[in-house]
Structure 1
């Protein structure tokens, strides 16, 4: 039971002090941001979660970003609705969206929902600035955070003594 409760903390320490590159952490954070921005309960969110788990990125950073942006994304729903309404209202695209909706998995995609498609487009639009900013953050603060975490006995217990000994000196 205690192991089950400490597993997220262990993953957080491993994410911050792990041997993954800042690029992997930034990509994981960016995929998590996109996953967090998209409303859940549709096939798009499931596919994004699958992509996050399938790629060689930092999954802990991705899940933290997904949780963070899931809390923030309802504040962006009015903007997402306007973006989705503008896209779904385009006369040239209405046939394509109707065809997509009539496919076997079409209703599960959620492309007929203005907030879903608007959130996806907004997340894709801000994905590069999010990647670039998180890359700079992990390059700058990743190694000092790893050294700071490795100094504490709790980190040695949670991540393993041999792992913490690597950063001692």
Structure 2
């Protein structure tokens, strides 16, 4: 956990663009909220590799949102159930289920569909909020935090140096 805090502070203080970090958080949200072994997550991983997204933030937010996913499984199930039982969408679900490739997507599973729709709806709001928070941190709090006694001790610590060398 100590190493994660150090890495996160290094990322926040780095030259990495705020949008790269923000979209990394949003992609991590999708990977964390949805069940991992699904076809749509392969597409998300492909987008992460193609776009300039910070992978450390993807992993950080994937872990954070996976912890919350279990709390909202019932809501994801209800959302997926409503979507799958919608009379207007029933032909779409039938066509997708009859397609061999799309059947692997497991869209007929209420939790998979509900969590994917919820994470897609949250994608841009999370990116905007995270980008705003990073900008505010860099403008207002970064210099103040670096001047605190805790950060000075952390920078001078041999443990911090050892942990950063391990991560390289």
TM-score tier after normalising by the smaller chain length: 0.7 to 0.9
Q: How far off is 1:52 after superposition? A: 2.1
Q: 2:46 aligns with which of 26, 46, 50?
A: 50
Specify whether residues 52 and 108 from structure 1 end up closer, same or farther in structure 2 by C-alpha distance, changes over 3 A only.
Answer: same
Q: 1:40 aligns with which of 27, 30, 36?
A: 36
- Residues 1:59 and 2:55 aligned together: yes
User: What residue number does 1:152 align with?
Assistant: 155
Mapped partners of 1:101, 1:145: distance in 2 = 51
1:115-169 per-position Cα deviation (integer Å, ceiling 9, x unaligned): 111111111222232122111111112464487369714656626xxxxxxxxxx
Specify whether residues 138 and 72 from structure 1 end up closer, same or farther in structure 2 by C-alpha distance, changes over 3 A only.
Answer: same
Q: 2:15 aligns with which of 14, 19, 26?
A: 19
- Residues 1:93 and 2:89 aligned together: yes
1:54-94 per-position Cα deviation (integer Å, ceiling 9, x unaligned): 21011111110011101111111111111111111112222
User: What residue number does 1:138 align with?
Assistant: 134
- Residues 1:31 and 2:34 aligned together: no
How many residues in Structure 1 have an aligned counterpart in Structure 2? 155
SS of the residue corresponding to residue 152 of structure 1 reads helix
Instruction: For 1:116-131, list aligned pairs within 5 A.
Output: 116-131=112-127
- Residues 1:75 and 2:79 aligned together: no
Instruction: Please tell me the root mean square deviation across aligned C-alpha atoms, in Å.
Output: 2.8
Structure 2: stretches of 5+ with no match in the other structure: none
